[in-house]
Amino acid sequence: MQDLWRLSAAELAILIKSKKVSAKEAAMAALSRLEAVNSKINAVVDHRPEQVLKDAEQVDLGIARGEETGMLVGVPVTVKTNIDQEGFATTHGVKLRANLIAKSNSPVVDNLRSAGAVILGRTNCPAFSYRWFTTNLIHGDTKNPRDATLTPGGSSGGAGSAVAAGIGHIAHGSDIAGSIRYPAYACGVHGLRPTVGRIATFNTSRSEWPIGPQITSVSGPLARTIHDLRIALAAMSAMDARDPWWVPAPLQGPPMPKRAALCLNPDGLQTAAEVSAAMNDAGTRLERAGWTVEMIENTPPMREAADWQTKLWLGHDYEAQLAEAEREGDPGALACLYGNRAKVAPFDATAYLSALTRRATLIREWLQFFEKHTVLLIPVSAELPFADNLDLMNEAAFERVWRAQLTQIAIPFMGLPGLSVATGLVGRAPTGVQIVSGRYREDLCLLAGEAIEAGGVPPSPIDPLD
């Protein structure tokens, strides 16, 4: 059982539940894998082996007593450093927060543990989660295990890198502008951004979020199989009264026709040929699985949604954010804020009201779109995964990065779910497709994702490559 870390979360949970494998054995295998490869990719930046083994032993004791087991019983998972885990620093990739020790767990951590999962370690993110690259001044650089010259994505870059390299079976990430979907894409795994309100989140270690992040930011899972995303979503979406946005929506909605729209260039996105080829391949896979796929020229507004989302994300207390980033001195965070100053500042009460008013109109257009089309296939990014730290090269490179990420920034403004599905490789660079559906219809995204996944995915987990 040396290679337990290679199994899917679902496979491992079945073995543990049936007592063919112990949770402690699974934890030991996960820790062994972490020790073997993490030094090459720096995906996990904080972990306590003794606590991991102790938690696993408690799972085994519960099984021995005949207690009810959760769907992730004994499964080693990772969580991002931007959520509270009792006794650990919620650094968010920031030196200034090195001593911000959480006194309680985020609902995400509590829900994972309630489902039987064992928290293996905490994964890296860029400072303040501002970038689609993962490096900071407190934890250092995270590398993409498929190719160290490529970004592992961000802001959940440590999560994507860990899952791809076999460090944990499921990773927690968060997404306000692509921070789950892009690391999954860049690392050649799958990632689900749920609907706003699906997964309860809250950190006692920080002040209340402004309204923008409250209605656009989500937590969600990254994994190597679509089925693992499905069970992770079920585990993570349990009710928690600490999140007033949580919605008791069913995980399975009413049946819908297998009808997909495919748009290669939403709102004029200049999609690279390799990305278009992966999109067309995904459409063909759906057709083979019995779906009707309609090629469409455009979608409801994305560019406008992305502009408003950037304002909601970065505009509130922009000067205070900039002052903290300047104290931190992180080049990536400063590049993000300086590079977007003209787009977001000043963002006053009038601008806030305009954003929220326009948001209702755009949501309505998107929901009407999904009355006709069950799911929408669009690029995750206009380009293959970027060269690492491309955004720091020069002003033109920074603009290129932001221009390519249109679909990732736009979807959160409407609070919609989005699924990044890995489909293959171009050389070492992963390819994939993004699936979007109506609110609380993650089940439809996953249904289409399973059909696309059946056509082939990049090998995973893998040993890190230079």
Delimit the domains of the chain by residue range. Answer: 4-453
Cα–Cα nearest to 128, from 70, 81, 191: 81
pLDDT of 2: 67
Q: Which fold has domain 4-453?
A: Amidase signature (AS) enzymes (3.90.1300)
Burial grade of 255 (CB within 10 A; 0-12, 13-18, 19 or more) = exposed
Report pLDDT digits (tens) over 249-270.
999 999 999 999 999 999 999 9
Q: What is the mean pLDDT of residues 68-91?
A: 97
The pLDDT of residue 186 is: 98
Report the helix count and the strand count for the chain, using DSSP H and E: 16, 13
What is the C-alpha to C-alpha distance for residues 305 and 307, in angstroms, rounded to an integer? 5
| Residue 307 pLDDT greater than 60, yes or no | yes
pLDDT value of residue 33:
98
Q: 3-state DSSP call for residue 174?
A: strand
Structure confidence at residue 466 (pLDDT): 87
129, 174, 179, 381: which one is catalytic? 179
Residue 179 a catalytic site member:
yes
Please give the angle made by the CA atoms of 81, 86 and 89, to the nearest 5 degrees: 40
Look up 19 and say whether it is catalytic: no
Q: How far apart are CA 339 and CA 220, in angstroms?
A: 28
- Looking only at the bridges linking them, the beta strands covering 259-262 and 190-193 are unpaired
Has residue 11 got a pLDDT over 80?
A: yes
Give Cβ neighbours of residue 298 (< 8 Å, ≥ 6 apart).
Answer: 263, 265, 266, 267
pLDDT tens per residue, range 15-71: 999 999 999 999 999 999 999 999 999 999 999 999 999 999 999 999 999 999 999
Active-site residue identified among 22, 106, 129, 155: 155
Residues 24, 80, 258, 311: which is the catalytic one?
80
Q: Tokens 């890198």 belong to which residue? A: 161
The per-residue DSSP string of 413-447 comes to HTT--EEEEEEEEETTEEEEEEEE-STT-HHHHHH
- Cβ atoms of 153 and 385 closer than 8 Å: yes
CB 133 within 8 A of CB 151: yes
Residue 80 annotated among the catalytic residues of the structure:
yes
